[in-house]
Structure 1
Amino acid sequence: MNNKIKKTFSDRCFNLINTLIMLAIAFIMIYPVYYVIIASISNAEKLVSFKGILFRPLAPTLLAYEQAFKNPMLLRSYANTIFVVVVGTMVSMIFTILGAYVLSRNNARLVKPAMIMVTITMFFSGGMIPFYFAVRDLGLDGSLWALIFPSAINTFNLIIMKTAFMAVPSSLEESANIDGAGHFTILLRIILPVSKSVLAVIALYYAVARWNAWFGAMLFLEERESYPLQLILREILIQNDMSNVSEGVASAELGFISVTIKYAIIVIATVPILCVYPFVQKYFTKGVLIGSVKG
């Protein structure tokens, strides 16, 4: 018996149009990244004079990367950013997991008032000046810890994780309670193992947010030795500060090479975090769907 479904002419037209639209969207999203990579390894003078859509590097060269890594602050800022991302993500995950577990306990005291207070922070805040004074009075001003603890918990991520924890079957917890398990045992051995997808997605959210953050560093850090990578990137792209990445370049060539150096800096600052996505992609859709179930 042939169970193959025959597609009508309208079905084929729909699939064709849908495919073309998806390809166009994919091109619009991918080409800017591709262009930056290709431009970063192109000859600066030829790139500036080139008109049209760039599909291949022009006279390939790594001069832009060589000049970029001459910046003495680049590797230092990389180390600062890695510290903030790794330690900050760990701190955020610990606080978010503990907060989500407490808020997911229906029999805990004051859960509803606490949830209301948490939700309010999504819409209202004290403002930048009180926030700055609070961080300063805590003694975190001028330290990388000022980029970690004040933003340790994101309310949206907390609610997603809380909803995911509530989706864990209560029978598992009841069995653990009968066996004498406490809250930490239930959290570590039951809830977390069955919530790996949500944990991976939330960890990715925190890591990407901390990797891209620059405003907090501009607000709290004064010494350039403590600057994260994104703040150095901001100096080069927005303030056009090429003083540390143009050594040995003639002034006549500086206007050309500065363009490719900017592209190279963007690649250097973007590629590492892009490499994280393939490792958590299999958890992404499942984690978001689990965390989005109304609890």
Structure 2
Amino acid sequence: MIQVYGKGWENLRESKTDRTFIVFNYIFLTLIALLVLYPLIFVVSASLSNPQYVISGEMWLWPKEFTVEAYEKVFKNKDIINGFMNTMKYTVVGTALNVVMTILAAYPLSRRDLKGRGFIMAFMVFTIFFSGGLIPTYLLIRDLGMLNTFWVMIIPNAVAVWNIIIMRTFFQSIPHELQESAMIDGCGNFRILWNIVLPLSFPVIAVMVLFYAVGHWNSYFQALIYLTDQDRFPLQLILRQILIQGQTDDMIQATTESFLAQQLSVEGLKYAVLIVANLPMLLLYPFLQRYFVKGVMIGSLKG
């Protein structure tokens, strides 16, 4: 029994209707949680099970005939390891550049004394709805000499306008009097940004790191268009080859002759690669989760 305290509400208690509503809410949320968790549990269990039981449908929750053979094949495959390392480099360098560029764009736009900031924001928002298109963008990147290079995965997406808007709005929520006091004491714009604004903006910076890191980690279309050298392929493009194109010859042993044996090998690899591809982001999120809601809500609503 929950009692609600407050002036004039000392004797107010939950009604039977309220308790029924709460019970149904718990049941509904539990069902939603199970629907979300079951696919994750299934993928983990399938990656640790004998593929024969997965294909036949005998494995539906917990691992059956536990084995790590699929993971052994994954970590012995040079293409997957190389793709993993490429994705790590793209994610770390790209996220760092993204966050720096977003801060440098959002801070001036949050200043009241910036002339023409309304026009600049309108121009930037315009690019959200209208872009140059795939072919003109490809021709531009080709003329810049970035095709099939490391930087083609970094520079074209160095700035996201929507994230600039979120960070600018967060900066605007910081009391302007703090910046005015610093200016009176002789601080310049960069010192105000470094010593006052950024220390107060860690929640939104954490959100930006998460947004950009997930975007870089999951990116494959850009690599599909601009990269031809397989040594530069990110992990997601390697995963796409395994799941869609069936390019698994290097991971299947030479003694595998029958179609069934090949199917079993591919089935185990598929789930193991899914786990390897998603694990880093799943490990990153808990460290940033406590800042996530605060950063998004303040950055989106205040201003």
The question of whether the paired residues in 1 share the 8 Å contact of 2:74 and 2:272 is answered with yes
Corresponding residue number in structure 2 for 1:97? 103
Corresponding residue number in structure 1 for 2:280? 272
Corresponding residue number in structure 2 for 1:290? 298
CA–CA distance in structure 2, aligned partners of residues 251 and 262 of structure 1: 19
* RMSD (Å), alpha carbons: 1.5
Deviations 1:98-119 (A, max 9, x none): 0001111121122111110001
Q: How does 1:103-142 map to 2 (within 5 A)?
A: 103-142=109-148
SS, match of residue 88 in structure 2: helix
The question of whether the paired residues in 1 share the 8 Å contact of 2:170 and 2:302 is answered with no
Q: 2:29 aligns with which of 5, 19, 22?
A: 22
TM-score, normalised with respect to structure 1: 0.96
CA 1:70–1:248: 2 relative to 1, 3 Å: farther
Q: How does 1:20-169 map to 2 (within 5 A)?
A: 20-51=27-58, 54-169=60-175
Superposed displacement of residue 251, structure 1: 2.4
CA–CA distance in structure 1, aligned partners of residues 292 and 255 of structure 2: 45
Corresponding residue number in structure 2 for 1:219? 225
The question of whether the paired residues in 2 share the 8 Å contact of 1:67 and 1:247 is answered with no
CA–CA distance in structure 1, aligned partners of residues 105 and 78 of structure 2: 41
The question of whether the paired residues in 2 share the 8 Å contact of 1:200 and 1:284 is answered with yes
CA–CA distance in structure 2, aligned partners of residues 64 and 190 of structure 1: 50
Deviations 1:47-106 (A, max 9, x none): 21125x712101010111112223211111111101100000000011000000111112
Corresponding residue number in structure 2 for 1:256? 264
Matched, 1:190 2:182: no
TM-score, normalised with respect to structure 2: 0.94
SS, match of residue 249 in structure 2: coil
Superposed displacement of residue 137, structure 1: 1.4
Name whichever structure is richer in helix by fraction: 2
Between the two proteins, the alignment pairs up a number of residues equal to 294
CA–CA distance in structure 2, aligned partners of residues 78 and 180 of structure 1: 48
CA 1:165–1:50: 2 relative to 1, 3 Å: same
CA–CA distance in structure 2, aligned partners of residues 59 and 7 of structure 1: 50
Q: 2:13 aligns with which of 6, 12, 34?
A: 6
CA–CA distance in structure 1, aligned partners of residues 36 and 161 of structure 2: 29
Q: Percent identity?
A: 40
CA–CA distance in structure 2, aligned partners of residues 191 and 279 of structure 1: 22
Query: After TM superposition, where is structure 1 displaced by more than 6 Å over at least 4 residues in a row?
Result: none
Superposed displacement of residue 5, structure 1: 5.2
The one-letter code sitting in structure 1 at the alignment partner of 2:52 is E
Give unpaired runs (5+ residues) of structure 2: none
Q: Which stretch has the larger CA shift, 206-215 or 126-135?
A: 126-135
